[in-house]
Amino acid sequence: MQFYNSLTRKNEDFAPLHKDKVTMYVCGLTPYDHAHLGHARTYAAFDMLKRFFIQNGYNVFHIQNVTDVDDKILRRAKESGEKPLAMAEKFHSEARELFRKLHILDADVYPKVTEHIPEIISLVQKLAKEGYAYETETGVYFEVGKFKGYGKLSGQKMDEILAGSRKEVDETKRSPEDFALWKKTSGEAIEFESPWGCGRPGWHIECSAMAGKYAPALDIHGGARDLIFPHHENEIAQSEAASGKQFVKYWLHTGFLTVNGEKMSKSLGNFVTLRDVLTEHSPNAVRMFFAMAHYRSPIDYNPDQIRQAEATVERIFNFMDNVAEALEKKEKKSVKDKALENEAKNKFRNFHHFLAQDFDVPTAITFMFSMMTSTYSHLEGESYDYAALKLIKDEMEKALYVIGLVQEKKEVGDKTKELIELLIELRDDARKRKDFEASDKIRNRLRQLGVALEDSGGKTKWKIS
C-alpha cells in the first residue's frame, strides 16, 4: 500500500506507527455558513480512504476538529445578530447531517476549539518555554526564524514567505512571517482568560493542541490542498518545536473542487451548497461523481456529469439486482466456468491493487465495470456458475462499500404495483406494434415517476430508482 506524501513529494509505502491501527486527523469546518460541495469532496475522499483501511483490517481512529471561534464566525454572527457559538453549532450540525446523507462515516471525535482552551494555552506556554514564542501588546507569536525546518511541507523559501507576509504587517512582531498563537482581545463576543490576558487562539495552534490531546503522533493528516500553506506548515512548526518529534508521518491533500476552473470557495462567492446539490441529486450520484476523479486531482462542478453518475449508479444497482435474482431463483443448470471465476479473481485483485497505489479509485473502478460486462455475458447463457456469481456479488459489495454507494430498497403498495405493471403491458403492446414513439413515451414517463425499466431476455423488469 502506497500513498503520495505531500511532505516528501513522492509515493511512500504505508507503514502505520502502530500495527493494525491508523490514526487520522482531517481538518474540519469553520462553520460560519452552509457546507458547500468542495467541503463534501474532501470529506468524501477521506471517507473512502477510511473505508479502505477498515476493509483491510485496520482499526481507524479519526479526529476531525471544529473551528467554532474565528474572525469569520464573529463577523457573520455580528451581521446576522446571532450568538456566535449557537450559529457555529447550527451550521456544523446541519453539515454533519448532510455528510451522513452522503454516507460519510462519523469521525470518532469532533473536538471544538472552545472546549480545548486549557490544552491550547498549555501548548503556547511550552513553546514560550522552549524559546519559540514571544509576547507583544497584540498577542503571542511563533518565531518562524527559530524553527529550522520551516517550509519543508510547502516547499516555500523564507524570502518568498517574507514577501507574502508583508501583506498583513503587524509592527509589534519581531518578523513579518511570525504567526499568532494567541490573539489578545478586549470585549469581543468570545474571549478567554489566559496568562497573557483576555484573548482567543490563533487559527493554527488549535489543530496542534487538539491533535496532541487525542493522539501523541499521527499516521495521516489530511485536508484540501489550500491548507498546505500556511495552516499545515504552521502546524508542523508548532508541534515539532514543542515535542522535538515528528508530528505526522504522511500528509495527504485533496485537489480543489472548481467552478469553471476556479476554486469553489465562500470568499469568492462561487460556492454551491451541499444542501442544494442533494436536493437535485442522490447521495450515490454525488459519491460516484467524486469517485470518478483521483483524490489529488481537481474536479470541475458539472451538474450534467452528476446526472451521468446517477445513470452509472443505476446501472451498478441493476447489475447487483440481476446477480442476486439469479442466485436466489437458481432457475438454470449449474456449471463450472473456470474462465469466469479466474477473470473475477484477477479483476477484483486489480481493483484492490489500484486502491493500494495512492488510492487510485478511478482506475480501480474500470475493472469493476469490465467485470460487470463479462458477468452479463454469462447471464445470457443457458447455464450459470453459481459459485462464480456469488464470488462476483461478494466482491462487488466490498467495492461498493469503499466507494460508499448504498442501495436503498424502496417499497410500493399493491395498487401502485398493479398500475406500473399495467403501463408496462401497454408499453409491451406498443413495442409489438412497432409503435416506438408510444413505447418511449411510457418509458420516459415512468422514469420521471422514479420507475426504472430494464429489458432483458424478452422480458421487462422494473424497480423504484
Q: Is residue 436 within 8 Å of 443, Cβ to Cβ? A: no
Buried b (16+ CB within 10 A) or exposed e, 159-176: eebeeebeeeeeeebeeb
Predicted model pTM: 0.86
Q: What is the pLDDT of residue 412?
A: 67
Q: Is residue 290 within 8 Å of 41, Cβ to Cβ? A: yes
Q: Torsions phi, psi of 409, nearest 5?
A: -80, 125
Give the helix/strand (H/E) hosting 422. Answer: helix 414-432
Report how far Cα 286 is from the mean position of its chain's Cα atoms.
11
Q: What is the pLDDT of residues 194-213, one digit of tens each?
A: 999 999 999 999 999 999 99
Q: Is residue 218 within 8 Å of 23, Cβ to Cβ? A: yes
What's the grid cell of residue 168? Answer: 498583513
Q: What is the pLDDT of residues 402-446, one digit of tens each?
A: 999 999 876 667 778 888 888 988 998 888 898 988 888 888 888
Mean pLDDT of 139-159: 91
What's the grid cell of residue 313? Answer: 449508479
What's the grid cell of residue 399? Answer: 467495492
Q: What is the pLDDT of residue 393?
A: 97
Q: Is residue 191 within 8 Å of 220, Cβ to Cβ? A: no
Gap between the Cα atoms of 141 and 439, Å rounded: 72
Which segments of 71-137 are extended strands (E)? 133-135
Each as own residue / partner, the long-range contacts of residues 79-82 (CB below 8 Å, 24 or more positions apart, any chain) are: none
Contacts of 166 (CB under 8 A, 6+ apart): 176
CATH fold of the domain at 2-280: Rossmann fold (3.40.50)
Gap between the Cα atoms of 403 and 352, Å rounded: 12
287 closest CA partner among 297, 277, 296, 273: 277
The per-residue pLDDT of the chain, averaged, comes to 93
Give the helix/strand (H/E) hosting 192. Answer: none
Range of weakest confidence among 126-135, 193-202, 321-330: 321-330
Give the helix/strand (H/E) hosting 178. Answer: none
Q: What is the pLDDT of residue 166?
A: 47
What's the grid cell of residue 151? Answer: 517550509
